[in-house]
Chains A and B, each alone.
Chain A
Amino acid sequence: MSTRAVWEEEPTVAGRLGKPVVLTLIALAVAFPLYVVVVTSLSSTKAVTRAGGLVVVPRELTVAAYVQLLSGGVVTRALLISVLITAIGTAFSLGVTVLAAYGLSRPGSLFHRPLLFVVLLTFLFGPGIIPSYLLVNSLGLIDHYASLILPAAVSAFNLIVMRSFFMGIPAELIDSGRIDGAGEFAILRRIVLPLSKAVVAVVGLFYAVGYWNAFFNALLYINDNNKWPLQMVLRTYIVQQQPLPTGAGGVVTGAGLGLAPAPGLAIKMAIVVIAIVPVLLVYPFIQRHFTKGVIIGAVKG
């Protein structure tokens, strides 16, 4: 908590009253929809009927909707697919990005400028939807999970963020490694990476959030709805409001656990919550790092 500077005037009454009101409204605009969705997902049939739809005041909370969704069926499968795509995709993207960022971090090395140019040029134009689709199609990747990873595996932005961080590592450290006879791979692993945990974490989380949220690639490349990731399920049953297929609630209805079957609305809202939770889990890490300036530093150049 810092205090007002001596030369600053007293805050006006309007400022003193207005600011908290505005800030509260902003925070509510973000938090309230999330709150309603979570409460509804945890509500019983009775509570939903009584509220006439979405539930604002929590009454009769139950986890029946989650038990139903997570005990097999469409959502369980989609969740698994999304988790696997995110994990494998992030590892792959992070791997190639770290390597290339280090490989491009030494101006004056062979082909440094043309290779950097190839990466930077991707900022200016994209290949377009139709040619990309035709390529993925001709590679035989339609309905293949690789189509959700490979076409979007490299983000030039993430690569440049990481590269500028690597370039800030003092040359003396790298030279000392070389004097000790280490090759470039050993220098990257033993000297550069241990110093770059923060930027690797942030870039990794950016990739992970990207894979988790990706919807358009699946819309283009995955026709088989047994292979849909979670975002496609969310789009079909929530945004387009198609009825959940029988068995979407899974084979177990929760009856075995002494739970009454969950109302349809609670099940829908539980799908929304399941899509949000992973983002909320990694969010504190992202925030901690980028407020420390990893990203801001890169933005400033």
Chain B
Amino acid sequence: MTTVVKPPVRAARQAGPVRAEKRTGMGFRHRLRRDWPLLLMVLPVIVLLGLFHYFPTLGNVIAFQDYSPYAGIRGSDFIGFANFSRMFSEPAFWKAVANTLSITAVQLVFFFPIPIGLALLLNSLLSSKLRNLIQGVVYLPHFFSWVLVVSLFQQMIGGAGLLAQTLRDHGHQAVDLMTKPDTFILLVTAQSVWKDAGWGMIVFLAALSTINPALYEAAAADGANRWRRLWHITLPGLRPVIVLLLILRLGDALTVGFEQFILQRSAVGGNAAEVLDTYVYYQGLLVGDFGYGAAAGLFKGVVGLVLVLLANRFAHLVGEQGVYSRS
């Protein structure tokens, strides 16, 4: 998730007439008569979000219940924080937290810099045709499903894959990199890089395009070589975007991608592949312990929300714009 959305700035065009209308004190009835078609248009989305986003959010109360599907939410007993205290004493839960955080850490080191490097490389190409071609190639895997990406990796480096096949043909021991728990963390990072590094580059390319070319010319006239220009102009130009994305990634530390892990958990084993999201899924739906699963999910949701808010606050502190700002 590297796309950033800021609440759009109010359009300047509206400033005039609307303000004037407001000042003359337009009544609620008048505004309703004027705006009811707009309200009607928004209605379907509000209903969908209300029913499938906000309403189930309330359903998280079952985290505090000994929930039974037969009794339902109303008929199940409230047990306070019992699900949570059980969870906190469960080694498997902490294993999932640790796996999640280490995957985030590895991705910060090995994934994060790659889109920046790619953007710089692409930006240095003189031929715009070649640039478009490369862009077309590296964006493409972003639009593949995780099922597809995992399938392709399996065919390349899995037990029956091309790598194993080639090794066998040359009389070596075949390897199956898809089922090794020890290297799983590198495997998922490689998959993420393959799928999304190109897509992640877009933001940096956009930032590079806003750097004034006259700066480079002036620096060159002052005798700065290409490395000094990179250091003193390009990187400072990218700094706001890098800082913002870094902070956002930290705020999202508990989210490492879901489908990718569900798909590979059985091949690698829960010890290496269990992350918080898969833990919720297995405990809640496959074991059938709904209340406990919901507690784990709620824990992830609340800690995740706090992290995002903190990250955003921090972004404002260091003088960057966050995901949202008070408008």
Contact = CB atoms under 8 A, between A and B. Distances in A.
Interface of A: 1-5, 7-9, 15, 19, 22-23, 26-27, 29-31, 33-34, 36-37, 51-54, 56, 95-97, 99-100, 102-104, 106-111, 115-116, 118-120, 122-135, 137-138, 150-154, 156-157, 159-160, 163-164, 167-168, 170-171, 183-185, 188, 209, 212-216, 219-220, 231, 234-235, 238-240, 269, 272, 275-276, 279-280, 283, 286-287, 290-291, 295-296, 298-301
Contacts of A171: 11, 13-14
B49 A118 contact: yes
Given A125-B57, A129-B284, A276 B35 contact: no
Contacts of A212: 145
Given A7-B220, A164-B8, A234 B148 contact: yes
Interface in B10-44: 10-11, 13-14, 18-19, 21-22, 28, 31-32, 34-42, 44
Query: Taking chain B's interface residues, is the majority helix, strand, or loop, or is none over half, making it mixed?
Result: helix
A109 B31 contact: yes
B128 A19 contact: no
Contacts of A5: 213, 216-217
A258 B218 CA distance: 71
Query: Taking chain A's interface residues, is the majority helix, strand, or loop, or is none over half, making it mixed?
Result: helix
Given A33-B155, A296-B206, A53 B294 contact: no
B276 to A, nearest CB: 11
B319 interface: no
Contacts of A27: 134, 137-138
A181 to B, nearest CB: 14
B189 to A, nearest CB: 14
B53 A126 contact: yes
Given A122-B53, A126-B53, A220-B285, A235 B147 contact: yes
A9 B280 CA distance: 57
Contact of B48 (A4, A125, A150, A295): A150
Contacts of A276: 144, 148
Contacts of A220: 285
A235 B277 CA distance: 19
B324 A272 contact: no
A275 B67 CA distance: 39
Contacts of A110: 28, 31-32, 34-36, 38-39
Contacts of A154: 45, 48-49
A52 B53 contact: no
B116 interface: no
A202 to B, nearest CB: 12
Interface residues of B, number: 120
Interface stretch (B99-107, B180-188, B257-265): B257-265
Interface string B216-236: 110011000110000000000
Given A36-B155, A159-B45, A130 B202 contact: no
A107 B285 contact: no
Contact of A215 (B36, B132, B225, B259): B259
A102 B217 CA distance: 44
B53 A127 contact: yes
Interface of B: 3-11, 13-14, 18-19, 21-22, 28, 31-32, 34-42, 44-46, 48-60, 62, 69, 72-73, 118, 121, 124-130, 132, 134-141, 143-148, 150-156, 160-162, 165, 168-169, 194, 198, 202-203, 206, 213, 216-217, 220-221, 225-226, 258-259, 262-264, 266, 277, 280-281, 284-285, 290, 293-294, 297-298, 300-301, 304-305, 308-309, 323-324
Contact of B262 (A115, A153, A209, A219): A219
Contacts of A216: 258-259, 262
A160 B50 CA distance: 17
Contacts of B216: 5, 7
**Most chain B CB within a 10 A radius of its CB, from A31, A99, A168:** A99
16 contacts: A5-B217, A29-B194, A36-B156, A37-B152, A52-B168, A99-B41, A124-B308, A125-B305, A127-B56, A157-B3, A185-B41, A213-B148, A235-B147, A238-B151, A275-B145, A299-B203
A57 to B, nearest CB: 12
B147 A231 contact: yes
Contact of A109 (B35, B51, B150, B323): B35
**Most chain B CB within a 10 A radius of its CB, from A23, A56, A298:** A23
Given A167-B11, A240-B266, A272 B294 contact: no
Given A125-B304, A240-B266, A119 B45 contact: yes
Contacts of A115: 39, 42, 46
Contacts of A51: 165
A130 B293 contact: yes
A124 to B, nearest CB: 6
A283 B121 CA distance: 23
Contacts of B4: 299, 301
Contacts of B72: 138
A191 to B, nearest CB: 14
A188 B37 CA distance: 11
Contacts of B293: 129-130
A238 to B, nearest CB: 5
A186 B309 CA distance: 41
